[in-house]
Amino acid sequence: MLPGLIDAHTHLLLQGDITAQDYDDQLLKESIPYRAIRATAAARTALLNGFTTLRDVETEGAMYADVDLKTAISRGVIPGPRLFVSTRAFSATGMYPLSGYSWELKVPDGVQIVDGVDNIRRAVREQVKYGADWIKVYVDRRYYAGEDGRLHSWVNYTDEELKAFADETHRLGKKIAGHAIGWDGIDAALRAGFNTIEHADGLTPDLIDRMVRQKVYWCPTIFVGAYVAEGRGGIWPRMVEYMRVAFGEAVRRGASPYISYGTDAGGYAWTEPQAREMSYMVRYGMPPMQVLKSATSVAARLLDQTANVGSIAEGRFADLIAIQGTRSRTSPAWSTWLRHEERRRLQAGRAGGLLGSESVSCFTAEAQRRGGPQRTTLALFLCGPLLLCSSAPLR
């Protein structure tokens, strides 16, 4: 029996964007209501994959639809994980898609465009007003290999602007995530006081040590980089190796307590196994049990939710998964489960019968009448015979 898994970097409103055309087609040809309908299917998929809590880091042009999705799940209208949402995210003028279209056309933006310190503070307040749990900023773009061997990038904002994002977010009692892939973007986000760094393929030993000293969390999103590399071309295939080196170095330098599980699901298709990230983390040097912690207790700390999720204990939410075997360090059960996740998507079963060892069953109960909406959702994943379960809070 394990705590429900936590994915700290998803995009429920996105359905895979290997190429710019994939991304543009979703924003240009799919209405926000249609994308929200698809997001309900993605949320159910995440739950069936064993992830009972998600931090969804922006809607990619779908405005505040993630807030509506969160509300629908919390009210029991649709099944899905517990959500922490970032709404629209931010980038600067001319620095985020859609781009390359005639100036005579008004095309959608994948983020909220904002420039200047005063406008930034106002925009942060607006997103919080409409339901943002987190603020997300695209710190950099245009990644390239420098002569010094580092993966570099162009930073989207001035230091003053990035500091304004962080200061206003913290003043409002929220936390801030920064998309920062190259060395320059990571450096800028750390200087500005961001709470989490997303992707960070260009991490180097000096940045890793700063990240640990500042207690900044890192969501590496390894698999998505490998998934999109061939289709995107350019520097992207080389970035896979940058990430492998950065991740291994971070583990060796003791950063594991700040490495949180995050997949970037939505950046790749939701039909792909959401646990595949785990096998990459093990392959790149993290012990399997630490990988499990990254998707439970570490991610719970990132979310400031250790009193509710990330462990099985009295008073925690009853978000539970079960795998066949034990979770001892010597047991092959965890590795077997990971291999199974790579072979096939977890399939939903029906309450009542017996399930084979290669099947997984998910049962959710929205029993709001049994103690309130926040402590009544149970998602139980079973490998092997069906187990009896209760939706009551863990008391």
Give the pLDDT band of residue 393 (cuts 50, 70, 90): very low
Is residue 315 in a domain? no
Residue 350 has pLDDT above 50, yes or no: no
Last residue of a domain, one of 249, 267, 302: 302
Cα atoms in the Cβ-side hemisphere of radius 13 Å centred on 114: 25
Over residues 173-178, the mean pLDDT reads 98
**Average pLDDT over every residue of 300-311:** 97
pLDDT tens by residue, 92-106? 999 999 999 999 999
256 and 352, same domain (yes or no)? no
Residues 6+ apart with CB under 8 A from 25: none
Ranked by mean pLDDT, the top range of 235-239, 347-351, 361-365 is: 235-239
Q: Are residues 163 and 250 in the same domain?
A: yes
Residue spans of beta strands (DSSP E) within the chain: 2-3, 5-10, 51-56, 82-85, 90-91, 112-113, 134-138, 140-145, 151-155, 175-180, 196-199, 217-219, 320-321, 361-366, 377-382
Q: 38 or 373, which is more confident?
A: 38
Q: Is residue 230 in some structural domain?
A: yes
Q: What is the pLDDT of residue 1?
A: 84
Average pLDDT over residues 6-12: 98
Output 239 or 373, whichever has higher pLDDT.
239
Contact present, 188 and 162 (Cβ < 8 Å): yes
* pLDDT of amino acid 361: 29
Taking the C-alpha atoms of residue 336 and residue 151, their distance in angstroms, rounded to an integer, is 35
Task: List 84's β-bridge partners, or say none.
Answer: 55
| Same domain, yes or no: 223 and 360 | no
pLDDT, tens digit (0-9, with 9 covering 90-100), for 206-254: 999 999 999 999 999 999 999 999 999 999 999 999 999 999 999 999 9
pLDDT of residue 379: 40
Token duo for residue 32: 């926000």
Identify whether residues 71 and 168 lie together within a single domain: yes
Q: What is the number of other CB atoms lying within 10 angstroms of the CB of residue 107? A: 14
Q: What are phi and psi of 62, to 5 degrees?
A: -95, 25
In a domain, 19, yes or no: yes
Q: What does the block give as tokens for 5?
A: 């898994």
Given a contact cutoff of 8 angstroms between Cβ atoms, the answer to whether 151 and 140 are in contact is: no
Q: What is the pLDDT of residues 105-159, one digit of tens each?
A: 999 999 999 999 999 999 999 999 999 999 999 999 999 999 999 999 999 999 9
Residue 87 counted as domain residue: yes
Q: Per-residue pLDDT averaged across 257-267, rounded? A: 98
Point out which residues pair with 72 in neighbouring strands.
none
Last residue of a domain, one of 244, 268, 302: 302
> How many other C-beta atoms lie within 10 A of the C-beta of residue 148?
8
Structural domain range at position 271: 2-302
327 and 297 within one domain: no
Question: Residue 326 has what pLDDT?
Answer: 52
Task: State how many domains the chain has.
Answer: 2
Per residue in 43-78, pLDDT tens?
Answer: 999 999 999 999 999 999 999 999 999 999 999 999
Domain check: are 247 and 359 in the same one? no
Mean pLDDT of 79-86: 98
Is residue 46 assigned to a domain?
A: yes
Q: How far apart are CA 89 and CA 22, in angstroms?
A: 20
User: Is position 308 within any domain?
Assistant: no
Grade residue 31 by pLDDT with cuts at 50, 70 and 90: very high
> Which residues, including other chains, have CB under 8 Å from residue 77's CB and lie 6 or more apart?
none
Same domain, 23 and 103: yes
> Are 81 and 174 members of one domain?
yes
Per-chain mean pLDDT for the chain: 86
Dihedral of CA atoms 377, 383, 385, 388 in degrees, nearest 10, equals: -20
pLDDT in tens, 126-139: 999 999 999 999 99
Task: Indicate whether 387 belongs to any domain.
Answer: no
**2-3 and 320-321 strand pairing:** antiparallel
User: DSSP secondary-structure letter at 268?
Assistant: B
pLDDT value at residue 322: 78
Centroid of chain to Cα 24: 21
Residue 395 has pLDDT above 50, yes or no: no
Kindly state whether residue 388 falls inside one of the protein's structural domains.
no
Please check whether residues 286 and 326 belong to one and the same domain: no
Classify strands 90-91 and 112-113 as parallel, antiparallel or unpaired: parallel
CATH value at residue 279: 3.20.20.140
Q: Which of 302, 337, 362 is the last residue of a domain?
A: 302
**pLDDT for 320-336, tens place per residue?**
987 765 544 444 445 54
| 142 in the same domain as 57 | yes
How confident is the model at residue 325, as a pLDDT? Answer: 58
Same domain? 337 vs 270: no
Say what the pLDDT of residue 367 is: 27
Reduced to 3 states, what is the DSSP secondary structure of residue 11? Answer: coil
Is there a single domain that holds both residue 62 and residue 157? yes
Among 233, 235, 224, 227, which Cα is nearest to 262's?
Answer: 224
